[in-house]
C-alpha cells in the first residue's frame, strides 16, 4: 500500500491566464491617446473656424466641435460599457458613432473647401485619424477587461485550501471548451437577472451566431421543460422574453410543443400516498390503478 499519497485527493491544474506585457500595453495606450488628442485639437480648430466663418460668436463657436466630436466619444463609451457587461452594443450607439464620424469629416472638409482639393484633403486627415485612434483606444480597453476577468478567476482558484483530512476535497469543474464556458456564463447571467444576448455570447466566447443561438435554445428549453414537469404550468412568452433575453417569436416556438401537452400522470405511489387500504378502495385512485394493473387489482393475476 502506498502511504505517500496525499490525503487531499488528486492535484488539479488551472488554465494559465493570457500572457500580457504591461509596459507594452501602457506604451500603446499612451501613443494612441497622444495621436487622438492631436487629431482632436486639429479637428476642434477646423470646426471652430468653420463656425466663426458662418457668423457664430466666439462664445458659441466652440460648442460646434464639442457637440460633433462628443458624439463619437459618448457612443464609444456606451459600447465599451456594453462590452464589459457581456452585452451587444445598443443600435443607437452604433448609429451615433457613424453619424458623429460623418459629421466631423464633413465639418473639417467644409473648413478647407475654399482652399481647393489640397486643402480639402488635408482637412480630412484630422477627423479620420481621430475616429480611428479613438476606436483603437476603446478596443484596447475592451480587450483588457476581457483578459482581466479570467486572470482574476485563476488567481482566486490558486489560493491554497485547508480541507479537513477526513473529508474529500471538492474541486470546481473548469469548462474545457468555449461552448461550455459560454453555457456557464449564460446560465449565471440568467440567474443574475441580466441574460447575455446572443451577440454578446458570440463576441465574448468567439462562437458563431448559430452556435450561440443553439446554446441559448438548449438552456431555455431544458429549464422550461424542467419547470413544466414539476408544476404543470406553462409560462407566457413574455416571461421567457424578460427572463432569458430571447425574442417573443422564439419564446412562442419553444412553448409550442407544450400547447397540447396535458398534466403529468401521477405515479402509483402518488395515487395511494397517505391513504389507508379502505380509503384507496373507496377513492378515485382505484379506477386509475385498475386501468394500469387490472390483474393485480382485480385478483386475477397468477
Identify whether residues 152 and 192 lie together within a single domain: no
Using CA atoms, how far apart are residues 98 and 114, in angstroms rounded to an integer? Answer: 26
Does residue 19 sit in helix, strand or coil? coil
Is the domain of 93 the same as that of 188? no
Q: What is the pLDDT of residue 95?
A: 93
Residue 10 domain flag: no
Give the range of the structural domain holding residue 290, as residue numbers without chain letter.
Answer: 268-294
What is d(CA 67, CA 256) in angstroms, rounded to the nearest whole number?
A: 50
For 118-150, how does the pLDDT look when each residue is reduced to its tens digit (9 = 90+)?
888 988 998 899 889 888 888 888 776 555 555
Residues 6+ apart with CB under 8 A from 211: 179, 202
Proportion of the chain in helix, strand, coil states, percent, rounded to 5: 70, 0, 30
Domain boundary among 95, 125, 157: 157
Looking at the structure of the chain, the number of domains it has is 3
- 202 is a domain residue: yes
The pLDDT, as a whole number, for residue 9 is 47
Query: What's the grid cell of residue 276?
Result: 389507508
Is 11 contained in some domain?
no
Calculate the average pLDDT of the chain: 76
Q: What 3-state DSSP class applies to 30?
A: helix
Higher pLDDT, 188 or 12: 188
Residues 42 and 138 in one domain: yes
In this predicted model, which residue has the larger pLDDT, 169 or 188? 188
Report yes or no: 69 and 133 within 8 Å, Cβ to Cβ.
Answer: no
Instruction: Give residue 108's pLDDT.
Output: 92
**Rounded distance, CA 88 to CA 201, Å?**
9
Q: Which of 10-14, 74-78, 233-237, 262-266 has the highest mean pLDDT?
A: 74-78
Whether 241 and 281 share a structural domain: no
Same domain, residue pair 27 and 153: yes
Is the pTM higher than 0.75? The answer reads no
Sequence-separated (6 or more) residues with CB below 8 Å from residue 206: 178
* Counts of helices then strands in the chain (DSSP H, E): 14, 0
Residues 254, 273: one domain? no
**Do the Cβ atoms of 125 and 40 come closer than 8 Å?**
no
Q: Is the pLDDT of residue 296 over 70?
A: no
How far is CA 240 from its chain centroid?
17
Residue 116 has pLDDT above 80, yes or no: yes
Together in a domain, 189 and 231:
yes
Q: Is the domain of 75 the same as that of 131?
A: yes
Amino acid at each position: 500500500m502506498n502511504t505517500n499519497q496525499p490525503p487531499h485527493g488528486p492535484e488539479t491544474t488551472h488554465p494559465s491566464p493570457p500572457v500580457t506585457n504591461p509596459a507594452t500595453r501602457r506604451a500603446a495606450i499612451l501613443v494612441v491617446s497622444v495621436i487622438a488628442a492631436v487629431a482632436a485639437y486639429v479637428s476642434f480648430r477646423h470646426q471652430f473656424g468653420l463656425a466663426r466663418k458662418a457668423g457664430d460668436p466666439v462664445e458659441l463657436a466652440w460648442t460646434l466641435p464639442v457637440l460633433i466630436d462628443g458624439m463619437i466619444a459618448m457612443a464609444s463609451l456606451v459600447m465599451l460599457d456594453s462590452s464589459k457587461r457581456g452585452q451587444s452594443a445598443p443600435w443607437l450607439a452604433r448609429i451615433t458613432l457613424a453619424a458623429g464620424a460623418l459629421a466631423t469629416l464633413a465639418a473639417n472638409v467644409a473648413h478647407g473647401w475654399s482652399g481647393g482639393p489640397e486643402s480639402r484633403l488635408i482637412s480630412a486627415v484630422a477627423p479620420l485619424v481621430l475616429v480611428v485612434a479613438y476606436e483603437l483606444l476603446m478596443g484596447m480597453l475592451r480587450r483588457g477587461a476581457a483578459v482581466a476577468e479570467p486572470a482574476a478567476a485563476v488567481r482566486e482558484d490558486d489560493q491554497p485550501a485547508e480541507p479537513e483530512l477526513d473529508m474529500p476535497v471538492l474541486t470546481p469543474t473548469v469548462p474545457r471548451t468555449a461552448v461550455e464556458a459560454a453555457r456557464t456564463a449564460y446560465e449565471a447571467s440568467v440567474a443574475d437577472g441580466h441574460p447575455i444576448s446572443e451577440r454578446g455570447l458570440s463576441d465574448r466566447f468567439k462562437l458563431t451566431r448559430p452556435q450561440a443561438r443553439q446554446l441559448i435554445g438548449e438552456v431555455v428549453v431544458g429549464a422550461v421543460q424542467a419547470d413544466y414537469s414539476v408544476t404543470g404550468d406553462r409560462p407566457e412568452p413574455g416571461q421567457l422574453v424578460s427572463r432569458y433575453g430571447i425574442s417573443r417569436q422564439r419564446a412562442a416556438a419553444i412553448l409550442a410543443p407544450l400547447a397540447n401537452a396535458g398534466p403529468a400522470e401521477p405515479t402509483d405511489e402518488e395515487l395511494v400516498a397517505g391513504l389507508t387500504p379502505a380509503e384507496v378502495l373507496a377513492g378515485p385512485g382505484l379506477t386509475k390503478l385498475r386501468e394500469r394493473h387490472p390483474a393485480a387489482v382485480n385478483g386475477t393475476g397468477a
